[in-house]
Chain A
Amino acid sequence: MAVPSFLARERIIARPGFNRWLIPPAALAVHLCIGQAYATSVYKTALVADFDSSLTAIGIVFSIAIVMLGLSAALFGTWVDRNGPRAAMFVSACFWSVGFLVGAAGIATDQLWLLYLGYGVIGGIGLGIGYISPVSTLIKWFPDRPGLATGMAIMGFGGGALIATPLSRQLMGWYDPAYDGTAATVASGDAVAKLFVTLGLVYLVFMLFGAFIVRVPAEGWKPAGFDPSTVKAKALITTNSVSAANAIKTPQFWLLWVVLFCNVTAGIGILEQASPMIQDFFRENGTSTVAVAAAAGFVGLLSLFNMGGRFVWSSTSDYIGRKPIYMVYLGVGLVLYVLLATVGSTATWLFVILAALIISFYGGGFATAPAYLRDLFGTYQVGAIHGRLLTAWAAAGVAGPLIVNRVLDAQGTPGELVAGDYRPALFIMVGLLAVGFVANLLIKPVAAKWHEAKADAIFTDTTPETSAVR
C-alpha cells in the first residue's frame, strides 16, 4: 500500500549533520499520547454511571484496545518498517484521534458499542501502530545505545498515563463543575465526552508534531566514534539480518515471546489490583490500616517506577547485555514475588519497596524487548518483528487480570480480603516467572539458515541514490 509522497520514507532521510537527539522527542511525542491507555481508570466510574453499566462492561473497552494493539502491531509491523516512521506516526495519530472522537460520540449518544468501536477498535489500531512506529528508527539512530534509545521512547508510554490522569481530572472538573476530582464525586457523561474530544484533538496535534520532525538516517550513517565491531564482539549480537517472516519460525522468537508474556502477566497481577491490594494486605479485624488516599499514592508510586524502570533498566542493558538483564527481571522478580507473598504484609514500607521493584522490572521488560530483538535478528525488519512480539502483551493483558480476579473471587468478597487470600495468585506469578527465566536461559544466537542474503536486506537498510534528503 503506497503512501502520499509527503509521508514517504524517501522524503525524511536526514541531511548530513542532522542532530540525532531530535529523534527521541519525536518518539516521545507519540508515546506520551498513546500512553493515555494506562489512564482509563480515571473516568471508568463516570462511564459506569453514565451507561448504567458494570465495571466489567466498561473494562472491556480497555481490553479491546490492548488486544487491538497487539494485533495491529503484528499485522502492520512490516508496513511500518517499509514506509518509515513518519507514515506510521501520521496513521497512528489519525486512528488514535478518530478513536477518541467516535468514542465521544458513543458516550454522548449512550451507545456503548460506539465506545467499543471508537476507543477500543479504532483507537487500539492507533495504539499498535504508534507503539512500534519509532522503534526501528531509534535503533538505527542509536546503534551504540539501542537500549537507552528505546527505553526513552517506551518510557514515554508509561509517562503518558502520568500526564493523562491529572489532566483528565482537571478537564472533567472544568466541563462538570460538580466534579471535584475526588472519589466522592463522579463526572457526568457529558464531561467525559467533552474530555474525549479535547484529548483526541490535542493528541492529534502533538503526534503530528512527532511525525513532522522525525527523520531516518542515510545509508551507512553511524554516530561519531562508533565502531560496529565492538558491538559484534558481545555475545548474542548479530550483524546479520532476519526477516519478520523468518523470525517467527525461529525458537528464539517464541522463547522471547514466552519471556515477555510471563514478565507482563506477573506485572499486571500487581498493577491491576494495586489500590485494593495494599489495603487488603494491611487489613486488621475487617478494617484496613491503609487509607484510600494512601492507596492512591501507592498507585502513583507504581506509575513512577513503571516509567523509571523502562528507562533505567533498558539503558543498563546496553552495558550488561540483554540476556543478563532479563535474568534480573525474571530471577530477582521471582524472589521479590516470593517475599511479597510471605513477608509482604509485615510492614507497609517493605510491601511498597517490593511492589515498586517488581513494577520497575515489568516496565524494563517492555523497554528492553526491541533491543533484544535487534541483537538477535538485526535491524532489517526489527519493527515488524517487535510488532509480532507484542501479541504476547495482548495475551498477557487477558491472562494477568483473569488469573488474579479468578483467584480472588474464589477466596472471598472484595473489601474483606486479607494478605493470605492473595498468596495463590502470587505463587502462580512466581511459577510464571520461573517459566520465563528458563525460556530466557534457552535463548541462543539465531541459526545462519535464517539469515537474509546481504543484497536482500534492502528496504530498511539502504536508500536510493536519488532520494530527496531533508
Chain B
Amino acid sequence: MTETQHTRSTTPTGLVALAWALVGLPLAYGLYQTISTASNLFTG
C-alpha cells in the first residue's frame, strides 16, 4: 500500500495545522527568548 494508491488524505488539514501550532508556538517562544539572551553576547 502506498500513498499513490490512496491519494486522498483522510487526516483533517486542521488537525495537522493544530498539532504543528501546539508544538511550534512554544518552540517559537523559546527561540525568541534564547535569541534575546544570546544577543547579550554581542551587546553585553
Contact = CB atoms under 8 A, between A and B. Distances in A.
A263 interface: no
Nearest to B19: A25
Nearest to A23: B19
Contacts of A299: 37
Interface string B2-40: 111111111101011001101110110111011101111
Given A32-B26, A297-B42, A16 B5 contact: yes
A26 B16 CA distance: 10
B3 A223 contact: yes
Contacts of A166: 29-30, 33-34, 37
Main secondary structure on chain A at its contact with chain B? helix
A368 B6 CA distance: 31
Given A22-B11, A163-B26, A224-B2, A300 B37 contact: yes
Given A26-B19, A304-B35, A298 B9 contact: no
Interface string A1-36: 000000000000001111101100110110010000
Interface in A140-176: 156, 159, 161-167
A159 B2 contact: no
Contact of B44 (A162, A213, A297): A297
B16 A21 contact: yes
Contacts of A177: none
Please classify how large the interface on chain A is, using the bins under 10, 10 to 19, 20 to 34, 35 or more. 35 or more
A291 interface: yes
B33 A225 contact: no
Contacts of B3: 17, 222-224
B44 A291 contact: yes
A376 to B, nearest CB: 26
Nearest to A209: B22
A303 B2 contact: no
A222 B37 contact: no
A33 B5 CA distance: 36
Given A25-B20, A28-B23, A213 B15 contact: yes
B32 to A, nearest CB: 9
A25 B26 CA distance: 12
Contacts of B26: 32, 163
Nearest to B11: A19
Contacts, number: 119
A352 interface: yes
Contacts of B24: 25
A218 B6 CA distance: 13
A29 B11 contact: no
Contacts of B11: 17-19, 22
A224 B38 contact: no
A228 B35 CA distance: 41
Nearest to A304: B34
B37 A297 contact: yes
Given A32-B26, A291-B44, A218 B34 contact: no
Contacts of B29: 163, 166-167
B41 A162 contact: no
Nearest to A218: B1
B5 A300 contact: no
B18 to A, nearest CB: 9
A293 B38 CA distance: 9
Given A15-B10, A213-B19, A225-B4, A296 B30 contact: no
B37 A25 contact: no
Given A300-B35, A300-B38, A17 B6 contact: yes
A177 to B, nearest CB: 21
Interface in A294-309: 294, 296-301, 303-304
Nearest to B33: A166
A221 interface: yes
Interface string A191-231: 00000000000000010010001000010111111100000
Contacts of A213: 15, 19
28 contacts: A16-B1, A16-B10, A17-B10, A19-B9, A19-B11, A19-B13, A19-B16, A21-B20, A22-B11, A22-B19, A25-B16, A25-B20, A156-B27, A159-B27, A163-B26, A166-B37, A213-B19, A218-B1, A220-B1, A222-B1, A224-B2, A224-B3, A293-B40, A296-B40, A296-B44, A297-B38, A297-B41, A298-B38
Report the 9 A-B pairs with minimum CB-CB distance, sorted nearest first: A297-B41, A162-B30, A297-B40, A163-B30, A224-B3, A293-B44, A19-B11, A166-B33, A294-B44
